[in-house]
Amino acid sequence: MHVSRLLRAMSVCILVAGTHAAYAADSLTVVSYGGQYTASQRVAHYEPFARKTGIEIKSVDYNGGLAELVAQVRSGSVSWDVVDVEMQDLERGCSDGLFERVDLDKLPSGTDGKPAKEDFLDGALHPCGVGSVVWSNVIAVNDPAFAGRTGPQTIDDFFDVAAFPGKRGLPKRPNALLEWALMADGVEPASVYEVLSTPEGLDRAFRKLDTIKDESVFWETGAQMIQLLVDGEVAMSTAYNGRIQGAISDDGKPLRIVWDRQIWNADYYAVVRGSREKAAAEDFVRFATGTEALAAQARVIAYGPIRRSAEALIDPKIAATLPTASVNFQNALAFNAAWWTDHGDVVNERYAAWLAQ
């Protein structure tokens, strides 16, 4: 008797709490990677959106990955509304039903009047999310390590241990690295993923990696990567351009970015499936991926705006440091998230085995 009464009381409480949340339409929870990146979003997206609509943005940090999203969506207790995700997580999460579908026709046109579908870079519009920034996998060079000599200028140089001695920093995950290995081995950017899909192509990539394995130091996080470069532990490293640019322009570190065959990637805003504020969340995504919002963000962090129309709104000096600057973008390769989603399990295991040997 007592127990059933207690249960009834508890369920009433839960119901009340639930209804309360459902009608609180004055705030959105937006989840992103934290640090300088979220700071740029706050200035360029969150605050202007709040001023315009009166909806406060609650900012939450996470470390990427879909584990928490899966837990929220599968259990039905969704507390996040919008998530900033990488291309590969978007691809995967989209398949896994973690995101609401985006109505791409409702996206605003560019400031130059071009319709959204032409204004966004190829691949920036996804059924489950809208691209916001372009960031890039690049090679970063610690120039003092090559004092008096010319440091590496290309991907081929990065794999040329004889001509450019010194430790290489490599990631503990193979994303982008296998692509570079193939390109350094003579594969054209256009056919990289085709070759990687064959067993021989994969073997070829690993054989190329073997040539620099003994000269490499492996890092887990972006912060570690920067530390290795700054401390002089490595002469060069695979890197994320934003972090390197930050170290150069904010901290004055003597680092240099090699744009040759950069592998560009993008971050997307996606609405979490089951968000209680779906309409407001979609509003936010449309606002934050507008030309002006993207240009504003590019002014404070070295990630390229994903809309072509935004470049006109950015100081040319800043624009030149962005992955999307035409001089940097010449032989860029677009990261193929779909390929990685399909082959990730096998390739990751093989890379881990390669590391352990």
Partner 1 sequence: MRRSVLFPPGWRLLLPLLAFTAAVFIMPIGVILWKSIHDPEVAALLPATTASLESWSDETMLPPSASFDALASDMRNLVEVARIGELALRLNREQPGFRQLVERSAAKIHDEGTPLVETDRRWSDPASWRLIKRASEPYTPRYLLNAVDMRVTPDGTIGRQDEQRQIYLRLFARTILVAAIVTGLCALIGYPFAYALSVSEGMLRSALYFVVMLPFWTSLLVRTTAWIVILQRQGVVNELLVSAGLIADNERFALIYNFFGTVIAMVYVLLPFFILPLQAVMRGIPGQYVRAAESLGGNPARVFRRIYLPMTMPGIVAGGALVFILSLGYYVTPALVGGRTGQLISNQIAFHIQSSLNWGLAAALGTLLLMLVILISMVFSRVVPIGRPQR
CB of 340 to partner 1, least distance (A): 10
Which H or E run includes 169?
strand 168-171
Which residues are within 8 A (CB) of 188 and not within 5 positions of it... i.e. 6 or more apart?
Answer: none
Residue 233, SS3? coil
CA 357 to chain centre: 30
Pick the closer one to partner 1 by CB: 169 or 290: 169
In terms of Cα–Cα distance, which of 357, 312, 301 is closest to 132? 301
249-271: string of b/e by CB count within 10 Å (b at 16+)?
eeeebebbbbbbbbbbbbbbbbb
CB of 32 to partner 1, least distance (A): 17
CB of 38 to partner 1, least distance (A): 19
Angle (CA) 328 332 335, round 5°: 135
Strand partners, 337: none
51-90: string of b/e by CB count within 10 Å (b at 16+)?
eeeebebebbebeeebebbeebbeeeebebbbbbbbbbbb
Pick the closer one to partner 1 by CB: 41 or 175: 175
CB of 308 to partner 1, least distance (A): 29
Question: What's the rounded Cα separation, in Å, for the pair 90 and 267?
Answer: 9
CB of 91 to partner 1, least distance (A): 9
CB of 339 to partner 1, least distance (A): 10
Give the residues lining the site for partner 1 (CB under 8 A): 63, 65-67, 70, 92, 94-97, 167, 172-173, 206, 213, 216-218, 220, 224, 227, 231-233, 338, 341-346, 348-350, 352-357
Pick the closer one to partner 1 by CB: 196 or 280: 196
* Owner of token pair 């966004």: 120
Pick the closer one to partner 1 by CB: 200 or 326: 200
Question: What's the rounded Cα separation, in Å, for the pair 102 and 269?
Answer: 10
Residue 214: Cβ within 10 Å count: 9
Pick the closer one to partner 1 by CB: 100 or 277: 100
Question: What's the rounded Cα separation, in Å, for the pair 193 and 51?
Answer: 44
Pick the closer one to partner 1 by CB: 300 or 338: 338
CB of 279 to partner 1, least distance (A): 19
CB of 352 to partner 1, least distance (A): 5
